[in-house]
Amino acid sequence: MDTAKKPEEIKLSKSGRIRFTAGFFVCAILWMTGLAIVSAVLLPQHLRDIAGEAASTTIFGYVNAATAIASLVANLLFGNLSDRTRSRFGRRTPWIFGGAILAGVTLFLIGVVDNAWLIGIIYCVCMFGLNMMLAPVIATLSDRVPDDMRATMSAFNSAGTTVGSSLGTLIGAKFIT
């Protein structure tokens, strides 16, 4: 028996709406800041340091292509798995926390590994962790947010992503020197 509420049955108090709005915004800022620090600034520089100026551009292109494919597969996989998960922590929570840990550890490892191929593999694993976290977060919109608030929540999530991207690039630039 499916106990999920239909979208028209979902009700949120004013404090619930504020909490979800802030949650989507802050979550998006945090994940995008961390990713932008690495992907936009530190990874290209790290590859330049390892492979040289000319080869690093090619390697970076291959790494980005591989991570795009990994992200696509991971998003589909973990969105589906989080829909089917039943645990005492809920359907989404184990995936969100597990993905956050995997993404954080692999982002760190990218900075300490000096092999371009291994960096590419670790970065793909990072995308699996990131999408393990993000697919369930986005699915929370349909689980817990009423229809009339979904566009607002999505807008705050997108705004957080935009702010996080800019913030990550600025913070990452401070680490170059």
CB-based contact 169:41 (threshold 8 Å): yes
Q: Is the pTM of this model over 0.75?
A: yes
SS3 letters for 60-119? HHHHHHHHHHHHHHHHHHHHHHHHHCCCCCCCCHHHHHHHHHHHHHHHHHHHHCCCHHHH
Question: What are 116's two structure tokens?
Answer: 């371009």
Q: What is the pLDDT of residues 28-40, one digit of tens each?
A: 999 999 999 999 9
Q: What is the pLDDT of residues 3-46, one digit of tens each?
A: 555 555 678 888 988 999 999 999 999 999 999 999 999 999 99
CB-based contact 138:3 (threshold 8 Å): no
Question: What are 139's two structure tokens?
Answer: 């699915």
pLDDT of the residue at 54: 87
The CATH classification number of 13-176 equals 1.20.1250.20
Domain spans, the chain: 13-176
